[in-house]
A and B are shown apart, each in its own frame.
Chain A
Amino acid sequence: MKQVAKYVLLTLVAALAGFLLGFRHAERTVGAGSTIFAQMLALSQYETLANLQYQEADAAHATQAQLDLVKFMQQLEARQTIAVPRAFNYERAQALMHLALLSEQAGNDEAFQQYLHDAQKSLDDVDQKWYSEEAMRKFITVADTQFKSGSPECACPSRPQKAEERSSVSR
């Protein structure tokens, strides 16, 4: 009797341990892939609509769309673990640069500086570099050109133009 109980207990413990191992493994492989896919899909679609508004609509509608995109990203970040932080921060920097340029066009220098700073901060968080205003302008120009032409290339500021090191730039 004692022997049977021992076997049953061993089976249960081994099965439970296996279940936990299998569950965790699938979460880290299949689950992680699914999260990346979902975040990429949702963000790319939201961005496509917001960027179309930025490029085609009047300033008021364009600003509204970009502000909304930033808000969506904030809520996403608050609720989910961002699967690819580098891509996410680059995309946020693009939206913030759009807002900076729209503020500049509206003659609102204070808002321009704030959005520019936020965009620089977003890239600083992943690249550990504080890009200059000029580099940020080139970055957004390249990104917008690629969006218009349909090129899938990354508009990373470090590739087309030289990034300035944090230490060399006074904030």
Chain B
Amino acid sequence: MCAIGVVALAFGYGVGFGTSALRSVVESPLLANPAGSQDNFTGVFRGFNRLAAAEMAGGACDIPTNDYLSAEDSAIAAIQERAATASLNPPLDVARARLALRRARVAEKNNDLRLKTKYEEDAQQLLEKSGWKDSSPAHLRQIIYAIDSRENTCRPTTPNLDQPK
């Protein structure tokens, strides 16, 4: 009798722990869908989770791939969609400029100088719109380098591409 009780208790414990852990994983910053949030603030909150995660991955260890950049792009779009209705107005043009510069880096890596120039011009325009005193791509590149160095566990490994010029 006692053994059955203990086994049932252990089984229930396992199922309960698993259910709660699974819920946490589904709602975790990396998996939660900002568009699926019920209220607008949560949508913005999750959008920033996604943006931060994609940005960390995009800036880490010299691996800015199109996957991360697309994730960043969709996170910005998700935030934009919900921000106004949540009475928020985050400086998303700065995030877009940063994304454009990361794309310019990828284009440079692929020796596509035309595309690189286009992304840099996009970044400059966005920064001008955001009221930056120095909206040059070189200045933003320098800032991104400092932020990447601070936030990532490993430093950029390709000096020609990552260090400020």
Interface positions of A (Cβ within 8 A of B): 7, 10-27, 30-31, 33-34, 37-38, 41-46, 48-50, 52-53, 56-58, 60-62, 64-65, 68, 71-72, 75-76, 79, 148-152
B154 at the A interface (CB under 8 A) = no
Alpha-carbon separation in the docked complex, A41 to B91 (Å): 16
Main secondary structure of the interface of A (DSSP, over half): helix
Main secondary structure of the interface of B (DSSP, over half): helix
Which residue of the partner chain B has the closest CB to A52? Answer: B94
Interface positions of B (Cβ within 8 A of A): 1, 4-21, 23-25, 27-29, 41-42, 44-46, 48-49, 51-53, 55, 86-92, 94-95, 127, 130-134, 143, 146-147, 149-151
User: Inside 8 A of B44's CB, which chain A residues have their CB?
Assistant: 72
Alpha-carbon separation in the docked complex, A75 to B51 (Å): 19
Contact A20 B16 (CB under 8 A): yes
A18 and B150 in contact, given A34-B27, A34-B28, A53-B130 (Cβ under 8 angstroms): no
A23 and B16 in contact, given A14-B5, A30-B24, A45-B55 (Cβ under 8 angstroms): yes
Contact A17 B49 (CB under 8 A): no
Alpha-carbon separation in the docked complex, A75 to B92 (Å): 18
Contact B149 A10 (CB under 8 A): no
Alpha-carbon separation in the docked complex, A72 to B17 (Å): 32
- One of B12, B45, B95 near A15 (C-beta < 8 A): B12
- One of B8, B13, B55, B132 near A21 (C-beta < 8 A): B13
User: Inside 8 A of B52's CB, which chain A residues have their CB?
Assistant: 41-42, 44-45
- 10 other A-B residue contacts (CB within 8 Å) besides A14-B7, A31-B24, A38-B49: A18-B10, A18-B13, A22-B18, A26-B19, A26-B21, A27-B24, A37-B29, A38-B28, A38-B45, A49-B92
User: Inside 8 A of A14's CB, which chain B residues have their CB?
Assistant: 4-9, 12
Q: Which of A27, A56, A61 has the most C-beta atoms of chain B within 10 angstroms of its own C-beta? A: A56
Contact A11 B24 (CB under 8 A): no
A72 and B8 in contact, given A41-B52, A56-B133, A79-B41 (Cβ under 8 angstroms): no
Alpha-carbon separation in the docked complex, A62 to B46 (Å): 24
User: Inside 8 A of A37's CB, which chain B residues have their CB?
Assistant: 28-29
Alpha-carbon separation in the docked complex, A22 to B151 (Å): 35
User: Inside 8 A of B45's CB, which chain A residues have their CB?
Assistant: 38, 42, 76
User: Inside 8 A of A46's CB, which chain B residues have their CB?
Assistant: 48, 90
